[in-house]
Each structure stands twice: as structure tokens, then as C-alpha cells.
Amino acid sequence: NAGVTQTPKFQVLKTGQSMTLQCAQDMNHNSMYWYRQDPGMGLRLIYYSASEGTTDKGEVPNGYNVSRLNKREFSLRLESAAPSQTSVYFCASRRTGRISTNEKLFFGSGTQLSVL
């Protein structure tokens, strides 16, 4: 009963380095999300994927890329990390659809990223 699994839990990068945050869900959800959380700002949507093979920008997409590898996995890539990307990153998933009766959003435990 894993739910949404994120790796790694912690990461320290130097400015300009790249890395990929991994996310996988085992609930057969069609939509997946990446958020960042900064003090006093709540969660802001970076990218989301409505279904396998599709991705869309959220509120703060600049500096990030995503890949919906299959229905289970949705990765977030920082090509050239900047100190402004220091944040806590959360992955989430949900079943969506016009006739869906349970659209509860489920979250992973987060990745704390520091860019020096």
C-alpha cells in the first residue's frame, strides 16, 4: 500500500548542476502533479500531467521540465539548478474524469532540495 513514492528525500546541489526528482504512484491514477512549497507561499503548481503522454504548465514552470514516463511515473528535472529553486517539492496524484466519484488528491512525502 505504497501510494505516492518520491525519491530522493533530500538533495543538495551546486548552482548549475542538474538532477531529476522521481515520483511513482501505484493507485492507477491518471493525473499527476508536481508542486513546490516555500515558506509563507503555500503550494504552487509547477507542472501537471492529465494522462500518460500529456503534460501542462502550472503556475511556476520556468526552470523545470517534466516527463510522464508511463501511467505510474512522473519525473521533474532541473536542467541547471539555481538558488531560487531551493524548496520542498511534492508529487501528487489523483483519479480524474467526468464520472469519477472519488477525486481525492494523494501526496508523496516530499523532497527537500537545497541549491548552493
Partner 1 sequence: KQEVTQIPAALSVPEGENLVLNCSFTDSAIYNLQWFRQDPGKGLTSLLLIQSSQREQTSGRLNASLDKSSGRSTLYIAASQPGDSATYLCAVWRTGGFKTIFGAGTRLFVKA
Q: Which residues contribute to the site for partner 1 (CB under 8 A)?
A: 31, 33, 35, 40-45, 48, 50, 56, 58-59, 90, 92, 94, 96-98, 100-110
Q: How far is the CB of 43 from partner 1 (least distance, A)?
A: 4
Nearer to partner 1, 33 or 64 (CB): 33
User: What are the distances in angstroms from CA 82 to CA 3, 15, 33, 98, 111?
Assistant: 30, 5, 21, 39, 16
Cell of 86: 531551493
Nearer to partner 1, 80 or 109 (CB): 109
User: What are the distances in angstroms from CA 61 to CA 96, 98, 114?
Assistant: 22, 27, 18
Nearer to partner 1, 24 or 92 (CB): 92
